[in-house]
Amino acid sequence: MPQPTGSELPRRAIAVSGGKGGVGKSTIALNLAIACAQGGERTLMVDTDLGMADLNLLLGVAPEKSLLDALGGTPLEEVLISAHGIELLPALNGSYLLATIGSSTQRRLLELVSSLSGRFDTLVVDVAAGIGQAQTTFAGATTDALVVVNPEPLSMADAYATLKVLSIEQQVKHAFVVPNRVTSRAQAEELTARLSVLVNRFLDLEITTLPPIPADPMVGEAAQFGVPLIVHAPDAPAARAIRQLARALTISPASSTSSWWRAHAAAQGATR
């Protein structure tokens, strides 16, 4: 049943991207969503890595229906699945059709998500690897863009490429950067300092660095169990760091908004 939105909670929509595959986008998106839910926010998660559907594995669910059905007209309540306090609009593993949707179908997908906005406070979008049109559309549609970067040169370059296309193609003016799989705070600081220098020099974009997430073997163990990290090992260093990340996002000034979408994305038709 649709319910009125709680006015005391900020409406926020966070798209988690990062250019490179394997940097921890899905891990961070999922655990961030659950951390938001644990904080009392009604949280919706959308898997826009449409043909890979990693979130199903990380959540330990095997949905009967997917976004493909929703796009074909199946009511969303038959497609949404609940797990660990969040609801997920799942993708479909191995679906070439879903993986290759064009821009008008992408718009319909965003409209479907919009139609759920009365039932949820917070939206977390998991974005596929790469800087193609689809990834850039989803990464740039939401009020908050969060880019994951790892301490390795290729990840740095791909995070910069993501920030660049968000700035140039989507006119994003602000993005959050999260260093993941770091082995020390100094390493995280060096990484974000280098990225900041590039962004400040070449892009019309401001970045805010969020608390880093350490390299933690429990991340892989949780994935093997099909249980989200912050449920499987709530006291693991990476789980603590993700809760800290959720808190840092909550208090950041970019958070409060009446819509999940940026004005630019809305102007392009994302919410029509």
Ligand X SMILES: Nc1ncnc2c1ncn2[C@@H]1O[C@H](COP(=O)(O)OP(=O)(O)O)[C@@H](O)[C@H]1O
Segment contacting ligand X by CB under 6 A, of 6-14, 39-47, 212-220, 262-270:
212-220
118 burial class (0-12, 13-18, 19+ CB within 10 angstroms)? exposed
- Interface pick for ligand X out of 161, 198, 215, 227 (rule CB under 6 A): 215
Whole-Å CA distances, 8 to 125, 183, 229, 253, 256: 22, 37, 28, 15, 10
When CB distances are held under 5 to 8 angstroms depending on the partner's kind, the choice from ligand X, Mg ion, none that residue 219 binds is ligand X
Smallest distance from ligand X to CB 272, Å = 29
Least separation in angstroms between CB 272 and Mg ion: 28
Instruction: Determine, following the binding rule CB under 6 A, whether residue 99 of this chain makes contact with ligand X.
Output: no
Among 19, 24, 179, 228, binds ligand X (CB under 6 A): 24
Distances (CA, A) of 247 to 191, 192, 232, 252: 22, 20, 20, 9
Give whichever of 23 and 80 is closer to ligand X, judged by the CB atom. 23
Q: Is 43 in the site for ligand X (CB under 6 A)?
A: no
Among 27, 48, 135, 155, binds ligand X (CB under 6 A): 27
Q: In Å, how far are 92, 154, 170, 201, 210 from 228, measured between CA atoms?
A: 19, 27, 31, 38, 21
Which residue, 59, 77, 21, is CA-closest to 232?
A: 59
CB atoms near residue 95 (< 10 Å)? 17
Residue choice 6, 22, 118, 132 for contact with ligand X (CB under 6 A): 22
Q: Considering only CA atoms, which of 4, 87, 76 is closest in space to residue 46?
A: 87
Which is closer to ligand X, CB of 88 or CB of 238? 238
Q: 8, 57 in Cβ contact below 8 A?
A: no
Nearer to Mg ion, 25 or 65 (CB): 25
Distance in Å, CB of 78 to ligand X, minimum: 27
Rule CB under 6 A: which of 126-165 touch ligand X? Answer: 129
Q: What is the DSSP letter of 183?
A: S
| CA angle, residues 165, 12, 251, in degrees to nearest 5 | 100
Q: Stretches 53-61, 70-78, 159-167, 196-204: which one binds Mg ion (CB under 5 A)?
A: 53-61
Binding site for ligand X (CB under 6 A): 18, 21-27, 54, 129, 180-181, 213, 215-216, 219-220, 223, 238
